Amino acid sequence: MAKEKSIKEIEDLPGIGPTTAEKLKEAGYTTLEKIAVSSPHELAELSGMNVESAKKAIEAARQSTTIDFSTGTQVYENRKALGRVTTNAKELDELLGGGVEAKSITEAYGKFGSGKTQLGFQLAVNAQMPLGKGGLDGRVLFIDTEGTFRPERIEQIAKAAEMDPQAALDNILVVRAENTEQQILTIERADKAIRDNNIKMIIVDSMMALFRSEFLGRGALGERQQKLNAHIHKLQSLADTYNLAVYFTNQVMDNPGILFGDPTTPVGGNIIAHAATTRLYLRKSKEEKRIVRLVDSPSQPEGEAVIKITQNGIRD
């Protein structure tokens, strides 16, 4: 057998020189593990190498990586150490097990005016707070697909939190996406921006609005779901790679198939249903009150919390 050079970094893989390595890192393929689980076609497309060489590089990456086992206790310790962003409402934070979790995707769905965007604004401010103080000590990437980002609201919420409103606004990088292409590309190419700007939270408000208006009719559904799937997959991978929190909002429709109970269903089908680790259903109550229901969570029991949308932001 040929003598093997020990492979420690992606530059050590066969066929991957400094330029190719740089391209791959830009695209978020920063570790041997990431290469090991990639497909030859995606690797070839990203790096410009041919599919045969990509196959060899992947094979070498697989040989060189070992499976790291963690004990249940270690997993538990790691989970406790995960950053969380406070919602500013105690009851809701408790429902969420301490706030919106980093390394994971949280969805808020509900009718118009239910508070999805307002909760997003509050999180965009709170994510900037120090670790252990309800924040992730980082900046926020805010993808606005509906043109409803309101800097004046951020100012109000930041002032109420005793933060410098100017700094709070400077720490939110807003992308106004006009079509799904822009929405997808922003996330597709976010790696560098995330690293350069210390982004610790991504907000997509709303996830489905553009997809719904662009892909009309049954014929377009397959293509829509395929694009959506890749988009969500990339979001999850950013969350994992950079230890950041993802919050997205979603619209609802009335499901006529439901005869009893609340017929309100989030849009986006199975892809979206499986995308979020945590799903929140927001609905209006009296005046400024909103009821938030935890619909789907791997660790927390289902339940409800009441929040208020006030001048100062989200409160108990």
Site membership for ligand GTP, residue 303 (CB under 6 A): no
Four-CA torsion 306, 304, 257, 261, nearest 10 degrees: -80
| Tokens standing for residue 185 | 């590309």
Q: Which of 22, 164, 288, 302 binds ligand GTP (CB under 6 A)?
A: 288
DSSP letter assigned to residue 48: -
> 115 contacts which partner out of ligand GTP, Mg ion, none, CB within 5 to 8 A by kind?
ligand GTP
Site membership for ligand GTP, residue 254 (CB under 6 A): no
Query: Measured from the CB of residue 117, what is the shortest distance to Mg ion in angstroms?
Result: 3
Count of residues in contact with ligand GTP, rule CB under 6 A: 14
Site membership for ligand GTP, residue 266 (CB under 6 A): no
> 50 contacts which partner out of Mg ion, ligand GTP, none, CB within 5 to 8 A by kind?
none
The residue range among 36-44, 95-103, 131-139, 306-314 that interacts with ligand GTP, by the rule CB under 6 A, is 306-314
Alpha-carbon distance 220 to 214, whole Å? 9
The residue range among 19-27, 34-42, 109-117, 177-185 that interacts with ligand GTP, by the rule CB under 6 A, is 109-117
Site membership for ligand GTP, residue 277 (CB under 6 A): no
The β-bridge relationship of strands 252-254 and 264-266 is: antiparallel
Which H or E run contains 242?
Answer: helix 221-242
Query: Measured from the CB of residue 290, what is the shortest distance to Mg ion in angstroms?
Result: 13
Which H or E run contains 49?
Answer: none
Q: Which residues pair with 131 in a beta bridge?
A: 135
- 209 touches 144 (CB < 8 A): no
Alpha-carbon distance 258 to 264, whole Å? 9
Site membership for ligand GTP, residue 286 (CB under 6 A): no
- Binding footprint of ligand GTP on the chain (CB under 6 A): 110, 112-118, 148, 153, 288, 309-311
